[in-house]
Amino acid sequence: MPSERVLRAIAGVLALAGIGVATYITVVEAGGSAPQCLAGGHGCETVANSHYSHLAGVNVAVFGIVGYVLLVGSALAGGDVARIAGFAIALVGFGFSAYLTYLELFVIDAICQWCVASAVLMTLLLVVNALRALDYVGSELMNPPVRTDEL
């Protein structure tokens, strides 16, 4: 099992990549365009132009940016609160990504490659944060830090 430090680093890198993907989608949409599909096709444009791409008038990618920023914060922080928060945020993000993927496949009938990339990143973040939470929550209670002034 990787150390918590390694899991935190992995989570941080994945969340930064997620910020990049969600920011690209947001900036392109704010400019009045749609994300370009790297492999060609018009799936990204179809998804971006659907009414499902906004929630309460806000592009869903903005919610992604917020979620990924919170995940970076939980990766930078130590302790049980950060571990549980990272897991909870990743779980909500995964659920929302699964819902959006369902909409793409069965309602919109188009796939956005950027949305798929974000969903994959969120899935990986859920796995990493679950490992971090399951393996390290309560670890400070089992191995309290040694204070040098007590030696």
Domain ranges of the chain: 4-138
Mean pLDDT of 2-15: 96
Question: 108 near 53, Cβ under 8 Å?
Answer: no
Average model confidence (pLDDT) for the chain?
A: 92
Give domain 4-138's CATH number out of 1.20.1440.130, 3.10.450.230, 2.160.20.80, 3.40.250.10: 1.20.1440.130
Q: How far separated are the first and last CA of the chain, in Å rounded? A: 31
| CA gap 134, 87 in Å, rounded | 9
Residue-level pLDDT at 38: 84
Ramachandran area for residue 67 (φ above 0: left; ψ -120 to 50: alpha; else beta): alpha
Q: Please give the pLDDT value at position 148.
A: 65
Phi-psi region of 40 (alpha: psi -120 to 50; beta: other; left: phi over 0): left
Sign of CA dihedral 61, 45, 125, 15: negative
pLDDT digits (tens, 9 = 90+) for 30-84: 998 989 988 878 899 999 999 999 999 999 999 999 999 999 999 999 899 999 9
Which pLDDT score is estimated for 7?
96
Q: What integer pLDDT is reported at residue 27 of this predicted model?
A: 96
* Residue 1 pLDDT grade (very low, low, confident, very high; cuts 50, 70, 90): confident
Give pLDDT tens digits for 82-141: 999 999 999 999 999 999 999 999 999 999 999 999 999 999 999 999 999 998 877 665
Reported pTM = 0.89
Q: What's the pLDDT score for residue 139?
A: 64
Question: At a CB cut-off of 8 Å and minimum separation 6, what does 116 contact?
Answer: 101
